[in-house]
Chain A
Amino acid sequence: MLLPIKWLKEYVDLDEDSKVLADKLTLSGSHVESIISLDRDIENVVVGKIEELEKHKDADKLFVAKVNTGKDIIQVVTGATNLKVGDYVPVALVGAKLPNGVYIEKTNFRGVDSYGMLCSLKELGFGDNVIPKYQRDGIFILDKEYPLGTSISQVLGLYGEVLELEITPNRPDCLSIIGMARETAATFNKRIKIPEIKINNEVDDIKDYLESIQIDKELCNRYYARVIKDVKIEESPLWLQTRLMEAGVRPINNIVDVTNYVMLELGQPLHAFDLDKIKGKKIIVRRAKDGEKIVTLDSIERNLNPNNLVIADEKEPIGIAGVMGGFDSEITEETTRVILESANFDSKSVRFTAKEHNLRTEASSRFEKGIDPNLCEIAAERACQLIEEIGGGKIVKGVIDVYENKRDEEIINLRPNKVNELLGTDLTVEQMVDYLERLGLTSSVDENRLEVKVPTFRLDLSIEADLIEEIGRIHGFHNISVKPLVGVLTRGEKPYEKIVEDRAKSVLQGLGLNEVMTYSFISPKAYDRINIEKNSPLRNYIELINPLGEDYSVMRTTLIPNILDLLTRNYNRGIKDCYVYEIGNIFIPKELPLKDLPTEKKILAIGMYGNVDFYDIKEVVEILFDRMGIKGLEYVPEKKDPTFHPNRTANILYNGKNMGILGEIHIDVMEKYDIDTRIYIAHLDFDEIIKETKMEKKYKPLPKYPAIMRDIALVVDNEVLVGDIENIIWKHGEGLIEEVELFDVYTGDQIEEGKKSVAFSITYRSHSKTLEDEEVNAVQENIIKDLENQLGAKLRS
Chain B
Amino acid sequence: MREKLKRIKEEAIADINSSNSLEKLEGVRVKYLGKKGQLTLVLREMGKLSKEERPVIGQLANEIRNEIEKELSSAGNRLKEQLKIERMEKEKIDITISKNVRRLGHRHPLITTIEELENLFISMGFSVVLGPEIETVENNFDALNTPENHPSRDLSDTFYITEDILLRTHTSPVQIRAMKERKPPLRIVSAGRTFRFDDVDDTHSPMFHQLEGLVVDENVTMANLIHTIDVFVKELFGKDMKTRFRPHHFPFTEPSAEVDVSCFSCKGAGCPVCNGTGWSMELLGCGMVHPKVLENCGIDPEKYSGFAFGMGIDRITMVKYGINDIRLLFENDNRFLEQF
Question: Known: A169-B249, A487-B217. Is A597-B134 also a contact (CB below 8 A)?
Answer: yes
Interface string of A453-485 (1 = CB under 8 A from B): 000000000011110110011000110111111
Residues B224 and A490 in contact, CB atoms below 8 Å apart: no
In the assembled complex, how far is the CB of residue A151 from the closest CB belonging to chain B, in whole angstroms? 28
Q: How far is the CA of A168 from the CA of B282 in the complex (A)?
A: 13
Tell me the complex Cα distance, A483–B224, Å: 5
A508 to B108, CA, bound (A): 13
Q: Which residues from B are CB-within-8-Å of A542? A: 134, 161
Q: Hey, which chain B residues are within 8 Å of A34, CB to CB?
A: 275
Q: Is A778 part of the binding interface, using a Cβ–Cβ cutoff of 8 Å?
A: no
| Closest beta carbon of chain A to B25's beta carbon, Å | 40
With A29-B247, A494-B128 known as contacts, the answer to whether A517 contacts B197 (CB < 8 A) is no
Say yes or no: is B329 at the interface (Cβ < 8 Å to chain A): yes
**When the two chains form their complex, are residues B223 and A480 in contact, meaning their CB atoms are under 8 A apart?**
yes
For the complex, what is the distance from the CA of A597 to the CA of B140, rounded to whole Å? 13
Which chain B residues lie closer than 8 Å to A489 at the CB level? Answer: 125
Beta-carbon contacts under 8 Å, B73-113 to A: 102-108, 110-111
Are A425 and B223 touching (Cβ within 8 A)? Answer: yes
Contacts of A598 in B (CB 8 A): 134
Which size bracket describes the interface of A in this complex? 35 or more
With A31-B258, A477-B245, A485-B224: A493-B127 Cβ-Cβ less than 8 Å: yes
Comparing A319-327, A404-412, A570-578, the segment that makes contact with chain B is A570-578
Within 8 Å of chain A (Cβ to Cβ): is B219? yes
Please measure, in the bound complex, the distance between the C-alpha atom of A555 and the C-alpha atom of B193, giving whole angstroms: 13
Residue of B nearest to A169 (CB): B249
Known: A485-B228, A594-B161. A493 touches B128 (CB 8 A): yes
Instruction: Determine whether B151 belongs to the interface, using a CB cutoff of 8 Å to chain A.
Output: yes
Known: A482-B226, A515-B106. A492 touches B332 (CB 8 A): no
Q: Contacting chain B: which of A56-64, A137-145, A545-553, A671-679?
A: A545-553
Q: Is the CB of A171 within 8 A of B249?
A: yes
Query: Among residues 150 to 172 in chain B, which have CB atoms less than 8 Å away from a CB atom of chain A?
Result: 150-151, 154-156, 159-162, 165, 167
A107 within 8 Å of B by Cβ?
no
**Given the contacts A520-B207, A544-B167, A580-B332, A351 and B223 also touching, CB distance less than 8 Å:** no
* Nearest B residue (CB) for A347: B149
**A473 near B255 (CB under 8 angstroms)?**
yes
**Chain A, Cβ-Cβ closest to B279:** A26
Contacts of A423 in B (CB 8 A): 221-223, 255
A547 B108 Cβ-Cβ under 8 A: no
Asked if B218 is at the interface (CB within 8 A of a chain A CB), the reply is yes
A510 touches B (CB below 8 Å): yes
For A483, the chain B residues whose CB sits under 8 A away are: 221, 223-224, 227
Q: Which residues of B192-224 have CB atoms within 8 Å of chain A's CB atoms?
A: 193, 195, 197, 199-200, 206-207, 215, 217-224
Once the chains are docked, how many angstroms separate the CA of A543 from the CA of B185? 39
**Selected contact of B107 from candidates A29, A347, A505, CB within 8 Å:** A505
Q: At the interface, yes or no: A516 with Cβ under 8 Å from chain B?
A: yes
A302: Cβ under 8 A from any B Cβ: no
Known contacts A509-B107, A578-B334; A168/B248 CB under 8 A: yes
> Does A537 sit at the interface, judged by CB under 8 A?
no
Please tell me if B3 contacts chain A, counting CB pairs below 8 Å.
no
Once bound together, how far apart are the Cα atoms of A422 and B156, in whole Å? 36
- Assess A468 versus B254: contact at CB under 8 Å? Given A478-B244, A490-B127: yes
Interface positions of A from 642 to 673, Cβ below 8 Å from B: none
B residues within 8 A CB of A482?
A: 223-224, 226-227, 230
Nearest CB of chain A from residue B316's CB, rounded to whole Å: 15
* A796 close to chain B: CB less than 8 A: no
Q: Please tell me if the beta carbons of B161 and A544 are within 8 angstroms of each other in the complex.
A: yes
21 contacts between A and B (CB under 8 A): A169-B151, A347-B149, A422-B305, A423-B221, A423-B255, A477-B245, A478-B245, A486-B219, A490-B127, A493-B128, A494-B127, A497-B130, A513-B105, A517-B110, A520-B193, A544-B161, A546-B156, A555-B134, A580-B332, A587-B133, A600-B134
The 3 A-B pairs with the shortest beta carbon distances in the complex, nearest first, are A424-B223, A424-B221, A29-B247
- A contact residues vs B (CB 8 Å cutoff): 26-29, 31, 34, 168-171, 347-348, 351, 355, 421-425, 463-466, 468-469, 472-473, 477-478, 480-495, 497-498, 502, 505, 508-521, 542-548, 552, 555, 566, 569-570, 573, 575, 578-581, 585, 587, 593-595, 597-598, 600
- Apart from A472-B247, A482-B227, 19 more pairs, CB < 8 Å: A424-B221, A424-B222, A465-B255, A465-B290, A477-B222, A487-B218, A490-B126, A492-B125, A508-B105, A510-B104, A510-B105, A516-B337, A520-B193, A548-B200, A552-B206, A569-B331, A570-B334, A578-B334, A593-B162
